[in-house]
Copies of this chain bind each other. A is one copy, B any other.
Amino acid sequence: MADQTSLSVEEAIETRHSIRRFTEDPIPKKEMSKILELVRLSPSAWNLQPWRLHVVIESTLKNKLEEAAYGQKQVGSAPAVFVVISDMEDVLANLPDTIHPSIPEARREEEVSNLASFFNGMSIEERGQWGLTQTNIAFGFLMMAVQGLGYSSVPMLGFDQQKVKELLDLPEHAKFAGILPVGKAANEGYPHHRFELEKIVTFH
């Protein structure tokens, strides 16, 4: 896709800042598909892929989402708003679909039954939390895919979860990785502020 911006991983991570002001440029269909195709390839334990993405483009609904996010303008003004949830109950209802085709037929049933008994030993809340950890890997991949293709974003956790569930007709058990308004940056955002490496890394 030589006609698209394509940043290296290094450039994408180094230039990514939370952006809260976007231009009005929409995200072309081709690039939207590419972003989604990349998120789809995120890794997850046992390949369970608990992430489900709701992409809000329609203005009226975007404005309602902004209200549910306590009026934060980046929601209504972004050309596309990704709402990323984890749905472990949907995963559990479709376990055979997650098993890799290279696994021999004879072992597939066993795999499914091991997974089912592992997660059925947890409460819906506990396995919801578990699924959310895996969904957040995909949430990070989404930010990287967006950045790599020349767009910007801002991850948000400050919103009324119950209202967003109602607006998008999400199941009660859904867990939120976050809301991600996406578009072309209209400003540069703030410089990074992070702990020193010595604080977060130990060599053994």
A124 close to chain B: CB less than 8 A: no
Chain B residues, CB < 8 A from A115: none
Residue of B nearest to A14 (CB): B41
The answer on a CB contact under 8 Å between A203 and B55 is yes
Q: In the complex, how many angstroms separate the beta carbon of A105 from the nearest chain B beta carbon?
A: 15
A side interface size, CB within 8 A: 69
Residue of B nearest to A47 (CB): B193
If A45-B157, A54-B202 touch, whether A147 touches B13 (CB-CB below 8 Å) is no
In A5-23, which residues have CB < 8 Å from any B CB?
6-10, 12-14, 16, 18
- Which of A43, A49, A97 has its CB near the most chain B CB atoms (within 10 A)? A43
Q: Which residues of A contact B (CB under 8 A)?
A: 1, 6-10, 12-14, 16, 18, 33-34, 36-38, 40-43, 45, 47, 49, 51-58, 61, 97-98, 100-102, 129, 132-134, 136-141, 143-145, 147-149, 155, 157, 168, 177-178, 190, 192-195, 197, 200-204
22 pairs, CB–CB < 8 Å, chain A vs chain B: A1-B10, A9-B145, A9-B149, A13-B41, A13-B141, A14-B41, A18-B43, A40-B200, A41-B192, A43-B140, A43-B155, A47-B193, A47-B194, A49-B200, A52-B202, A54-B202, A55-B204, A57-B203, A102-B190, A133-B133, A137-B137, A137-B143
